[in-house]
Structure 1
Amino acid sequence: MTVTQGTILVVDDDQPVRLVLNALLETEGFGVLEAADAKSCLRLTYENRPDLVLLDIMMPGRDGRDVCRLLRDISPELPIIMLTALSDEQEKVGRFQDGADDYITKPFHNDELIARIRAALRRARQAPQRRSPGYHDSCVDIDFDARQLTVNGTPGSLSPKEWRLLENLVTHKDRLVSREELLQYVWGKSCEKEYRYLKVFISHLRQKLGDTAKKRRYIQTAREQGYIF
């Protein structure tokens, strides 16, 4: 079959799972690479630059969370979908904080997995090449092109999702951005009602920008509507 959809790296220590995913993805027109551990995953990502990674969270040695963070060092914009048996909401929030673009809980329906893969690839391909010009004042310096944040002279660190969220807010500076718009922009349409995820990430951003509960200088809340930078 001619590959037209892109190349997917499947990372799972369970060979039967890899075989099933390989067959499914090839049937849908994707090229497939396979890795059974973190070392192989990182090597294949560096050498082949796949279009998306399907990453199982429960693996021996380095688990999926560690691997996800390492993948971000190799390719910050690489779409990553976590495969997880965990159903706890806080664990799901943690997957996004680790840098994943999406997650899907096992067992999953094939149609749902393919739909999420295509949505993640579509978002990656539609991402603007030119970023926001950034933001600068006496306390904060934000450079989206260089992915650099400085707060009161001290370098800060943001996850890929935090960068994308902050970029959307700064791009629409002084304008209310709805919760649904932010969720869809950062995580996709399937997550546009996951307000709890957004609240957690906004809280993390505020902390990293130096905002406090008593003095919110940068990110303001419009109750049950959205946020304003």
Structure 2
Amino acid sequence: MDRMQDSHASHEAHLLVVDDEPNIRDLLASSLRFAGFEVTTAADGNGALHGVDAADPDLIVLDVMLPDMDGFTVARRLRERDITTPILFLTARDDMADKVQGLTVGGDDYVTKPFGLEEVVARIRAILRRTNGTADEDDGVVRVADLILDEDAHEVHRSGVDVELSPTEFKLLRYLMLNAGRVVSKAQILDHVWEYDWNGDAAIVESYISYLRRKVDQIEGQDGRTVAPLIQTRRGVGYMLREPKGE
């Protein structure tokens, strides 16, 4: 896994491509190099784990079906080690349950085989844009009620309790907080958070809203009391984050 020390200066990003099929792995690697990325490859789950340690990639392109352990297990083990490297899953199974499982264990996006190389590149760049913390005028600390999001430190606190979020969950929460008191549609969320519209697959928004509710709205604060829900659904319209009335 040779890697030049100054690789980031000459490449858009460093990717780890993990697939047990040599033809797909080689095609992906050569195509992504042509697109301007530095690429390291691995053929199985253990190779992926070693590759992350050795190469410290900016993003992992991870096949779900691997000979020693599935991609979901690889992702889970990385997240258990507090490794937050973004993950794009590749799978031959076009099943929403698989898609949701991949995102639940810490994945950031999902491409179903057979896929177009342009689609893979577009998804990779969209993930990198939303996880690299591009600075703008909205950077800083955002507060709504007892919920605090610190953009610079990439930290979230609710009622004095630390809240651990994936990069995509963090960006979704930030978008909701910046639009506090205003209903945002699923289409707006897809456009601003994912920056690539999943071909209109709004179900992924519902899944991520559910994850956020568990982590932000269904916890106990430092005082031991369950916090008041902030994320609200406007059926047929979208979602809104606002301070609870009477609190």
TM-score (norm 1): 0.79
The CA deviation string for residues 161-213 of structure 1, in whole angstroms up to 9 with x for no partner, is: 323222221222222223222222332222373222112222232233346xx
Pick the aligned partner of 1:197 from 204, 207, 226: 204
Deviation at 1:126, TM superposition (A): 5.7
- Counting aligned pairs with the same residue, the percent is 36
What is the one-letter code of the residue matched to 1:91?
Answer: D
Contact 2:11/2:37, CA 8 A, preserved across alignment = yes
Matched, 1:217 2:226: no
The CA deviation string for residues 51-97 of structure 1, in whole angstroms up to 9 with x for no partner, is: 22110011133321122233344542x33211011111222122222
Deviation at 1:105, TM superposition (A): 0.6
Contact 1:184/1:191, CA 8 A, preserved across alignment = no
Pick the aligned partner of 2:103 from 96, 100, 124: 96
Contact 1:181/1:192, CA 8 A, preserved across alignment = no
Matched, 1:86 2:93: yes
Contact 1:161/1:186, CA 8 A, preserved across alignment = yes
Distance 2:16 2:50 in 1: 11
Structure-2 change in CA distance of 1:135 and 1:143 (3 Å):
farther
Structure 1 residue matching 2:36: 3-state secondary structure: coil
TM-score (norm 2): 0.74
Distance 1:216 1:199 in 2: 20
Matched, 1:18 2:30: no
Pick the aligned partner of 1:147 from 141, 144, 155: 155
* Deviates further, 102-111 or 218-227: 218-227
Distance 1:192 1:149 in 2: 33
> Mind listing any 5+ residue stretches in structure 2 that lack a counterpart?
1-6, 219-226, 242-247
Aligned residues: 221
Structure-2 change in CA distance of 1:200 and 1:22 (3 Å):
closer
Distance 1:51 1:227 in 2: 31
Distance 1:189 1:170 in 2: 21
Structure 2 residue matching 1:175: 3-state secondary structure: coil
What is the one-letter code of the residue matched to 1:128?
Answer: A
What is the one-letter code of the residue matched to 1:189?
Answer: Y
Distance 1:30 1:8 in 2: 7
Distance 2:70 2:157 in 1: 28
Distance 1:19 1:189 in 2: 25
Aligned 1:12-91 pairs, distance under 5 A? 12-72=19-79, 73-76=81-84, 78-91=85-98
Structure 2 residue matching 1:162: 3-state secondary structure: helix
Distance 1:219 1:113 in 2: 32
Contact 1:132/1:170, CA 8 A, preserved across alignment = no
Distance 1:34 1:117 in 2: 16
* Aligned position for 1:133: 142
* Deviates further, 66-75 or 11-20: 66-75
Structure-2 change in CA distance of 1:90 and 1:181 (3 Å):
same
